[in-house]
Structure 1
Amino acid sequence: MSDRTVRRIFRYIFTSLLWAGFCFTIPGVQAVSSNLPLQPVASIDLPRFMGTWYEISRTPNRFQKKCAGFARTDFHLQVDATVQAVNRCRLRDGQLHIALATGRQVGAPDSPKLKVRFAPAWMSFLPAVWGDYWIIDLDEQYQLVAVSEPTRKYLWILSRTTQVEPQAYAALLERLKDKGFAVERLLMTQQ
């Protein structure tokens, strides 16, 4: 191989690495703050969080792929301090889809971190069936919430009502951008 060919190869590799590094630092390509650990809210009043929450928007995910809209979750605190979540949505053919989950708080009684499983109870000993469900933004009135997990792969915005005031939603999106979320990926949910 000639010196000229070797220089071309090194120049190509150097340019490619430089370009890749540049792409990962452009705002909008990857959020700068997404490298920082995700912080949930300081605490929650779990009984107050219970009840019906309507999905306003979400990031695309495989387990809601068939949902056409009208998504909501009803949370119920159980006697053993676990949480039952009944997730509902309408499928494209109009049928109602229901998925049951069990959740448990991680840490203190006011912890905003929960572990949730959709698998049967007999599989609950397996760590892989439990997913993170972190409350990362919650208004003081417990009317609007953002839920995610440490990697920011999933994001749900939920409300006690089927509609959210545009100003409140826009303010929440700004806070989520500051936390490193690509909010332009959110899909609005038909309610």
Structure 2
Amino acid sequence: MKIAIKSIFAGTALALSGLAISIATQAQTVTPQAVDKVDIQRYAGQWHEIAHLPMYFQRKCVANTKAQYTVNPDKTMTVLNSCSTKDGGKISSEGVAYSQNEGNSKLKVSFLPKGLRWMPFTKGHYWVLRIDPEYKVALVGGPSDKYLWILSRDAQIDDATYQSYLNTAKQYGYDVEKLIRTPQQP
């Protein structure tokens, strides 16, 4: 009987310690949150991709991934993504971003042809999760951990800045071990 009680006590203690570790781990991550406000005029222009989580639609990109944002008269943004391919070619895709909040920090983006953009469930989340005050480096993701980009106005960023943005991504629960650094060549 003593052995059974000790086993129950040990099992309970082990379960409680596992629960405590699980709670502590969950407490270190928070749900991704977009910044309060993005000045879309300042955000417009060219951004270089520094790193991204792997995704199907970027499977052919091997270097020089860039995004060009242009503000349209209706306050949407034209998005022109481009990259270099393994064979030395270049591919690009044009889409449009629609603001989803007053602060313009939560966007929905569609790369479908113009005539099909009205279709539901065809727009992806594009949330600005962090941006420096000078609009030089940005962390972009969404409400899930599926998509993540680190963007910069310059083709390269220093390691301290990169690590700082990685830490923000980790706090939001992104698996930064899966991030792919994007080569930017002249």
After TM superposition, the score normalised by the length of structure 1 is 0.81
2:93 pairs with 1:126: no
Q: Are the counterparts in 1 of residues 98 and 107 from structure 2 also a CA contact under 8 Å?
A: yes
Q: Are the counterparts in 2 of residues 75 and 86 from structure 1 also a CA contact under 8 Å?
A: yes
What residue in structure 2 maps to residue 50 of structure 1?
A: 44
Q: Counterparts of 1:33 and 1:89 in 2: how far apart (Å)? A: 38
Residue identity over aligned pairs, in percent, reads: 32
Provide Cα deviations, 1:50-83, integer angstroms capped at 9, x if missing partner: 0000000000000000111110000000112110
Root mean square deviation, CA, Å: 2.1
How far off is 1:111 after superposition?
A: 2.5
How far off is 1:183 after superposition?
A: 0.9
Q: Which runs of 4+ in 1 moved over 4 A?
A: 24-27, 33-36
How far off is 1:32 after superposition?
A: 2.7
What residue in structure 2 maps to residue 90 of structure 1?
A: 84
How far off is 1:36 after superposition?
A: 4.5
Q: Counterparts of 1:88 and 1:26 in 2: how far apart (Å)? A: 42
How many residues end up aligned between the 2 structures?
167
Q: Counterparts of 2:121 and 2:159 in 1: how far apart (Å)? A: 38
Q: Unpaired runs of 5+ in structure 2?
A: 1-14
Provide Cα deviations, 1:20-53, integer angstroms capped at 9, x if missing partner: x98x9499xxx73698432111111111000000
SS at match of 1:129: coil
